[in-house]
Amino acid sequence: MIKLSRVLLGIGVIGVFGITSSLAYQVLTNHNNAARTGRVSGETQLTPANVSGLKMLFQCAVDGQVYAQPLCVTNQLVYKNGISAGKQSIVVVASEHGSVYAVDANTGTTYWQVSLLDQGYSPVQASDPNLNGCNDVTPEIGITATPVINR
């Protein structure tokens, strides 16, 4: 099995989540609801006039491309290196390299990272001839679909 070189890519989190903890809300599935519309019907704080102030809070390195929508979870009990970090707001990020990360939504601190690939295995290369010309996701194919978090 060919060992892949890891590509570190930056992911950014926009300031909506970190404005204040009272404004934070959860995004537990693709486009934030079962109908996948992306509509947040209860949103009362953001207006066209005040969104121009949004800024990048942080960037963090992951081991592959990110095609899945990052998900936001509030008030989640988190452990880092086996020690409780208390209840935090986190962003869950899945990569094409087969990894899932839990990142602090306010600081960008990575709490944990886990590979869903068994040891010795690697993601499918987009150039694999068995894929019949799948060129939409490159250079490797791992976790492409947005996961769902069931609280």
CA dihedral 115, 119, 123, 124 (to 10 degrees): -160
Whether omega before 48 lies within 30 degrees of 0, making that bond cis, reads: no
Exposed, middle or buried: residue 124 (CB in 10 Å: 0-12, 13-18, 19+)? Answer: middle
pLDDT, tens digit, 9 for 90 and up, residues 115-150 = 999 999 999 998 888 887 777 888 999 999 888 888
pLDDT, tens digit (0-9, with 9 covering 90-100), for 58-111: 999 999 999 999 999 999 999 988 999 999 999 999 999 999 999 999 999 999
Please give the pLDDT value at position 123: 92
Distance CA 106, CA 96 (A): 24
**pLDDT digits over 32-42, tens only?**
777 777 777 77
Which is more confidently placed, 94 or 54? Answer: 94
- Mean pLDDT of the 6-27 span: 44
**Cβ 54 vs Cβ 15: under 8 Å:** yes
Q: Which residue has the higher pLDDT, 120 or 45?
A: 120
Tokens 């899932």 locate to: 100
Distance, CA of 143 to CA of 151 (rounded, Å):
21
pLDDT band with cut points at 50, 70 and 90 for residue 151? confident
Can you give the pLDDT at residue 116?
94
What pLDDT does 24 receive?
A: 60
The pLDDT value recorded for residue 16 is 38
- Structure pTM? 0.75
Domain positions in the chain: 9-37+51-141
